[in-house]
Amino acid sequence: MTVASELSTFASADGDLAYLDSGSGDLVVLLHSGYVDHRVFHPQIPALAAEYRVVALDLRGHGASANASMPFRWADDVAALLRHLDAGPAILVGVSMGGLAATNTVLEHPELIRAVVTCGAATGEFQYTDAWTRALQAEMAGKLAAGDAEGWLDAFMKVVPGEHRSLSDVDQDILRLMRDMAGNTLSKHTPGEKDWFVPVTDTFARASEIAVPLLTLNGGLEPADMLAAAERLAATVRDGRAEVIEGVGHYPNLEKPETFNRILSEFLHTL
């Protein structure tokens, strides 16, 4: 088993995108959540690399990857990576924003994808409707608009434990890692810069087109509407299943990595 420690890059249509490439075997691509980078999967990379080729991408505008200077879609960046690797079809595993990137990619580039795992995500049209999440999103947006980086980071960190817990309920190493990643990504951007992201539309209306196996794997402390949306997605695709890890929120892969890795491994072995 080879577990890489240095990032590789490839030239996309709009700057270099960075990724970690470890192990050998069938290709598993890890797609991180918003504002962080590939390191959010540090408990998964060595476990998966014992059996698979594991590629963990820094999505555009995050980590070591280039910022956008023209319109882009996550799906096209992921497809460009897979064509660069020439090693597919790939299994995509995405957390939060990365889960949306995964479902977008399988809809837009189905020939490149073998299976999908989403965590803390459903489809692109999903919007949280619970008051706590909407209030937190508003707080983060306000801090960002005001150029208050520290205030934004403080608000962002509330995502980790979720609505029902406090930061003291989460391992401090996890919190330090999340703050470091988010601070690094935030430093790449300036307040008020143009958002070049182009969403994929009608994703839930098209979900029944997804013909590959799909697993939704969520923390039991996610908002009820998030869990309901994930179950609806799993029930809509041709071969879907939903799993819940109790006692954790948006990042079960960090808070209960052994359980997350076991469920993920069991799913991969069915493919």
Q: What is the β-pairing status of strands 53-57 and 15-23?
A: antiparallel
Residues 105 and 157 in one domain: no
Look at residue 88 in the predicted model and tell me its pLDDT.
79
Name the residue with tokens 């988010």. Answer: 182
For residues 267 and 26, what is the distance between their CA atoms, to the nearest angstrom? 14
Give the pLDDT confidence of 161-182 residue by residue, as tens digits. Answer: 988 899 999 999 999 999 999 9
Residues 122 and 198 in one domain: yes
Mean pLDDT of 8-20: 97
Structure tokens at 168: 């003291």
Range of the domain at 205: 8-128+194-268
Residues 136 and 21 in one domain: no
- pLDDT at 1 exceeding the cut of 80: no
Helices (H), 33-96: 45-49, 74-85
Q: Which of 187, 209, 229 is the last residue of a domain?
A: 187
Look at residue 42 in the predicted model and tell me its pLDDT.
97
Residues 136 and 259 in one domain: no
Q: Taking the CA atoms of the chain, what radius of gyration do you get in angstroms?
A: 17
Look at residue 131 in the predicted model and tell me its pLDDT.
84
Q: Which of 137-141, 213-217, 259-263 has the lowest mean pLDDT?
A: 137-141
Look at residue 2 in the predicted model and tell me its pLDDT.
52
Quote the mean pLDDT of the chain. 93
The answer to the question of residue 2 being in a domain is: no
Total tally of structural domains belonging to the chain: 2
Q: Which residue has the higher pLDDT, 191 or 220?
A: 220
Look at residue 95 in the predicted model and tell me its pLDDT.
97
Look at residue 126 in the predicted model and tell me its pLDDT.
72
